[in-house]
């Protein structure tokens, strides 16, 4: 088998150049990435997590910086040699807490806001996954992975560490499972759960003996694989902690029933379920500043992970619950409350954008206050808003505005020098009449160096999810500018099932994976060709990942006429097998209207494996071997199918990647391989 590692001939982004160059994969890999950001108590300073790429070490390194809200030069707070994340301000604003590893164990640290040496706050034998400071700053709630039967031990951390050490010393490596998850996302389960603990900050500023808060909870707090500290919160007086966790009574791999619990922060009682009446997903608790109301997000339909998240308000004295902004047909993200308690803030997908919204608690009126692009993070002060924003041509930076979103002002310039050396393609959103007469949206990105009157090859990108969208954001895996920089125009369609267009539109893909979405792609492609004469319909390749990879496998047998080549990344090849092979079974069961054995026809109706006889277009298949969402066998089967049919095909496997390609060198190899594949099949006499 030939070596698939493409030679690296591109220079590092940010080096001096005679003239700005077209955006390329090295630019993508080397750009600094703005992460968590928090306002200081006096609203004068921002503490922000920044990821910078250590290309030689083949990984990202995160550090904590401060940025003046008035704008100005940022200051690094943490040593570049450590990877620091998750900043939080002390109550008095004099120091910043963060997580970093010591002896390969993630612990809590603190550093003076004015700079100085980092100080260890918590030194436990196990990783602190995430944390929150109490409102008075005298205690810290945090998550730790514990064995379930160690949770009842007097010293659960020590119990778990002893068990892990014994497992490592044992020459027998077998794991015996009696229930799922057996594996999840990219990890095999070893019996541990992410549990919630609390410890007081002693007079010397270090954490005292921790206490377990999630007694009797056989679940993960926060949820896996992507949960964070937004899934638990202190009451304003610090006496109670609210958290969300999956109810496992129905079976974890097929349950989306999360509930919100309340537990005394002193651990004097076991957690109490506040949302047991809702069999669907309740999450992201936010106690009001006056302590009278618990705001949270709730779905209505069990078994669905992409239902609309409605905003709920629970009166904590009576337990009565009402919906805030019930007429708003959008799925809200995690909430933050204004200082006066009159307004809730949230972000969500909205017609190709991801804006920041303000919602009146009293009447549910919704106002878009930061529009255009993607608001990837925000914080709310008494007088101002802090926003992290990006779009299709710019990576994220920090901005400030007043509480109404007026006068958005950029306060950080983390990538300014690099972006001056980079040229990107212009973009335009368009709409057309799609399946069933619905208005469907897409966008086109022009190639870098676009000249009117010329025609250009096309990368037709199909998004994953499928309940997701290709929006006005700067993506670090599927970034259209990487193709525009190679001389390709880009077309993408937010077909039926996409988010940001109302819940009915999102719902419409269920049990119709190869139906309306394919019709939208066909109609969108035709509309784009008609509207944009520079698109060369005879030199076009289609590519996508996850559901997008499924759609590539589906169109290979059902709509292959327009395409010179195809790229399927971690795509579903056999929907029936996927119903048994994936880990989150609720997904396939919702999308197909039941289990494989109860509703087999639904799994076969749009199954790509049944149409391999029609395959004829050259295909590149990419697979992460640690992808347990769409397992390796799906990619191998697709490659074998193409090979057996005699179709030009290649298989790129990353043994150390999951559903995503994350390591810098792997990202470069992925892009070089994909771009070479597109160029190979779109070169023709028409190329100019």
**552-580 pLDDT tens trace:** 999 999 999 999 999 999 999 999 999 99
pLDDT at residue 18, rounded to an integer: 54
Which domains, ranges and CATH numbers included, belong to the chain?
A: 420-573+618-623+649-682 (3.40.50.1820)
Q: Residue 510 pLDDT > 50, yes or no?
A: yes
Average pLDDT across the chain, whole number: 95
Confidence grade of residue 405 (pLDDT, cut at 50, 70, 90): confident
DSSP letters spanning 61-76: EEEEEEEETT----EE
**pLDDT digit string (tens) for 264-275?**
999 999 999 999
Q: Is there a catalytic annotation at residue 546? A: yes
pLDDT score, position 1: 34
Task: Collapse the DSSP code of 138 into the 3-class scheme (helix H, G, I; strand E, B; otherwise coil) and give the result.
Answer: coil
Is 21 a residue of the active site?
A: no
Inform me whether the pLDDT recorded for 17 exceeds 60. Answer: no
Model pLDDT, residue 4: 32
Question: Residue 7 — very low, low, confident or very high, per pLDDT cuts 50/70/90?
Answer: very low
Q: Over the stretch 325-363, which tens digit does the pLDDT of each residue have?
A: 999 999 999 999 999 999 999 999 999 999 999 999 999
Q: What are phi and psi of 11, to 5 degrees?
A: -80, 160
Q: Is 659 a catalytic residue?
A: yes
Query: Which whole number is the average pLDDT over 456-476?
Result: 98
Residue 67 has pLDDT above 90, yes or no: yes
CA–CA separation, 520 vs 391, rounded Å?
Answer: 24
Higher local confidence (pLDDT), 131 or 14: 131
pLDDT at residue 154, rounded to an integer: 86
User: Does the pLDDT at position 5 exceed 80?
Assistant: no
Q: What's the pLDDT tens digit per position in 386-403?
A: 999 999 999 999 999 999
Q: What is the mean pLDDT of residues 186-201?
A: 97
Q: Is the pLDDT of residue 12 over 50?
A: no
Written as six digits, the tokens of 454 are 């010329």
**pLDDT tens profile 107-116:** 999 999 999 9
The predicted model scores a pTM of: 0.95
Among 478, 463, 471, smallest CA distance to 509 is for: 463
> What's the pLDDT tens digit per position in 101-135?
988 999 999 999 999 999 999 889 999 999 999 99
Q: What is the mean pLDDT of residues 365-375?
A: 96
Contact (CB, 8 A) for 392 and 481: yes
Q: Treating both helix axes as pointing N-terminal to C-terminal, what angle do 516-531 and 547-558 enclose, rounded to 10 degrees?
A: 80
Active-site residue, from 282, 512, 574, 627:
627
Please pick, among 235, 659, 667, 671, the residue that the annotation labels catalytic: 659
Compute the average pLDDT of residues 527-538: 98
Q: Which two tokens stand for residue 497?
A: 């099932």
Q: Given this model, what pLDDT does residue 504 score? A: 98
Instruction: Report whether pLDDT(685) > 70.
Output: no
Catalytic residue among 85, 331, 376, 546: 546
pLDDT for position 80:
86
Nearest-angstrom CA–CA distance, 668 and 11: 12
Provide the pLDDT confidence category of residue 666 given band limits of 50, 70 and 90.
very high
Query: Region 415-437: what's the mean pLDDT?
Result: 97
Whole-angstrom distance, CA of residue 659 vs CA of residue 239: 40
Q: What residues have CB less than 8 Å from 50, skipping those under 6 apart?
A: 32, 33, 34, 35, 62, 63, 64, 65, 414
Can you tell me the distance from the alpha carbon of 352 to that of 494, in angstroms, rounded to the nearest whole number?
8
pLDDT of 3 above 50: no
Q: What is the pLDDT of residue 11?
A: 34
pLDDT at 123: 82
- At residue 663's C-alpha, the angle toward residues 498 and 375, to 5°, is 40
Q: Residue 393 has what pLDDT?
A: 98
The pLDDT score that the predictor gives to residue 15 is 41
pLDDT of amino acid 684: 66
Query: Distance of CA 609 to CAs 554, 591, 599, 606, Å?
Result: 8, 18, 18, 9
């Amino acid at each position: 088998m030939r070596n698939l590692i493409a030679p690296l001939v591109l220079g590092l982004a940010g080096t001096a150049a005679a003239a700005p160059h077209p955006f390329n994969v090295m630019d993508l890999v080397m750009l600094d990435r703005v992460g968590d950001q928090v306002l200081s108590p006096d609203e004068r300073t921002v503490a922000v997590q920044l990821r910078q790429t250590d290309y030689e070490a083949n990984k990202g390194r995160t550090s904590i910086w401060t940025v003046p809200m008035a704008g100005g030069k940022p200051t690094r707070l943490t040593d570049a040699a450590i990877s620091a994340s998750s900043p939080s301000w002390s109550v008095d604003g004099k120091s910043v807490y963060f997580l970093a590893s010591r002896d390969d164990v993630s612990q809590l640290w603190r550093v003076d806001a004015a700079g100085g040496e980092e100080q260890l706050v918590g030194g436990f034998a196990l990783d602190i996954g995430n944390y929150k400071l109490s409102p008075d700053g005298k205690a810290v709630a945090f998550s730790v992975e514990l064995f379930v039967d160690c949770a009842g031990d007097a010293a659960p951390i020590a119990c778990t560490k002893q068990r892990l050490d014994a497992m490592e010393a044992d020459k027998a490596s077998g794991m015996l499972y009696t229930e799922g998850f057996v594996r999840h996302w990219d990890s095999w389960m070893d019996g541990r759960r992410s549990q919630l603990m609390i410890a007081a900050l002693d007079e010397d500023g270090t954490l005292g003996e921790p206490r377990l808060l999630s007694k009797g909870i056989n679940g993960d707090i926060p949820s896996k694989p992507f949960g964070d500290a937004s899934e638990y919160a202190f009451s304003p007086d610090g006496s109670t902690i609210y958290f969300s966790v999956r109810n496992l009574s129905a079976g974890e791999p097929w349950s989306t029933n999360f509930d919100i619990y309340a537990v005394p922060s002193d651990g004097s009682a076991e957690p109490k379920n506040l949302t047991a009446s809702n069999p669907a997903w309740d999450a992201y608790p936010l106690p009001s500043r006056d302590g009278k109301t618990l705001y949270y997000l709730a779905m209505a339909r069990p078994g669905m992970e992409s239902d609309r998240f409605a905003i709920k308000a629970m009166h904590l004295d009576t337990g009565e619950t009402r919906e805030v902004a019930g007429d708003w047909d959008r799925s809200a993200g995690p909430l933050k409350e204004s200082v006066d308690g009159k307004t809730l803030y949230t972000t969500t997908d909205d017609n190709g954008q991801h804006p920041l919204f303000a919602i009146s608690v009293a009447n549910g009126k919704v106002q878009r206050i930061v529009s255009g692009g993607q608001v990837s993070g925000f914080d709310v002060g008494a007088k101002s808003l802090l926003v992290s924003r990006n779009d299709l041509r710019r990576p994220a930076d920090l901005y400030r505005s007043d509480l109404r979103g007026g006068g958005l002002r950029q306060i950080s310039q983390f990538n300014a020098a690099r972006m001056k050396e980079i040229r990107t393609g212009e973009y335009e959103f368009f709409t057309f009449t799609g399946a069933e007469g619905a208005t469907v949206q897409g966008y086109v990105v022009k190639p870098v160096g676009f000249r009117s009157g010329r025609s250009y090859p096309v990368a037709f990108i199909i998004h994953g999810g499928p309940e997701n969208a290709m929006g006005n954001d700067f993506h670090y895996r599927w970034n259209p500018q990487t193709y525009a920089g190679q001389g390709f125009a880009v077309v993408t369609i937010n077909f039926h099932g996409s988010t940001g267009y109302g819940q009915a539109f999102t719902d419409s893909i269920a049990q119709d994976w190869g139906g309306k979405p394919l019709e939208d792609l066909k109609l969108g492609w035709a509309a784009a060709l008609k509207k944009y004469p520079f698109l060369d319909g005879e030199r076009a390749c289609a590519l996508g990942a996850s559901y997008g990879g499924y759609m590539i496998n589906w169109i290979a047998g059902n709509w292959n006429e327009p395409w010179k080549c195809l790229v399927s990344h971690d795509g579903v090849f056999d929907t029936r097998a996927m119903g048994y092979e994936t880990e989150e079974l609720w997904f396939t069961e919702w999308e197909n209207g039941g289990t494989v054995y109860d509703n087999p026809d639904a799994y076969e109706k749009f199954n790509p494996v049944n149409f391999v006889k029609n395959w004829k277009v050259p295909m590149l298949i990419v697979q992460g071997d640690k992808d347990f969402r769409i397992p390796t066998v799906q990619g191998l089967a697709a490659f074998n199918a193409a090979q057996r049919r005699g179709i030009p095909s290649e298989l790129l496997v990353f043994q150390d990647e999951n559903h995503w390609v994350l390591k810098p060198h792997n990202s470069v190899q992925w892009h070089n391989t994909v771009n070479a594949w597109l160029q190979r099949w779109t070169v023709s006499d028409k190329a100019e």
